[in-house]
A and B are shown apart, each in its own frame.
Chain A
């Protein structure tokens, strides 16, 4: 059963704590992406990665960090430096190159609430 998994579905943290969101894919996709979604703001790109051990900042990378040690995994850490971390976080992946390679496949999302 192929796809992208994100865990947990709901996450609650106290202000000042770092938290790591998991994203795993078994689609053998090259590129992976993290988005943040707030009501009325659509999707904003946090970080993205095309290959293992390489990643680039998106439009709102401040207060976040990522790693890409394995092709299948792209965890996102929300640090205490992120001013407004409460949001819905979506992970996506895609093949790079070749026909049909433009579509992004999304995970089910993690809703993070920080109080």
Chain B
């Protein structure tokens, strides 16, 4: 079962532009994470935001969380061709989740053109 859903499914931009991806989820969470996956590779953790946080920054990444709307956004500023990848949000669940399992969305495929 998938808890998170990313939007849009695909995003195509020019280098230097900002990229915004959104994630919606269904149940109450402790934290939400964003991961990146280059084609044919494993996922790499980017950033985690806790349920009591509203915004978090890491380099060119900015993540927001709105628990009242059950949604999060990932902003990549000044994008580069090397940012081309799939981006996934992942959530835990406050109730009914054991052993630290995460629930992943289907991902947003970001393409950054030089």
Contact = CB atoms under 8 A, between A and B. Distances in A.
Interface string A32-44: 0101000011111
Contacts of A104: 43, 45, 90, 102
A6 to B, nearest CB: 8
A101 B2 CA distance: 22
A20 interface: no
17 contacts: A4-B42, A42-B104, A42-B105, A48-B101, A49-B99, A56-B99, A90-B42, A90-B43, A96-B99, A102-B92, A102-B100, A103-B33, A104-B102, A105-B45, A107-B42, A109-B40, A111-B40
A50 interface: yes
A30 B52 CA distance: 26
Interface residues of B, number: 25
Contacts of A49: 99
Contacts, number: 61
Contacts of A40: 9, 106
Interface in B59-85: none
Q: SS class of chain A's interface: helix, strand, loop or mixed?
A: strand
A42 B101 contact: no
A19 interface: no
A86 B37 CA distance: 20
Given A102-B92, A103-B33, A58 B42 contact: no
A43 B100 contact: no
Contact of B104 (A4, A43, A48, A111): A43
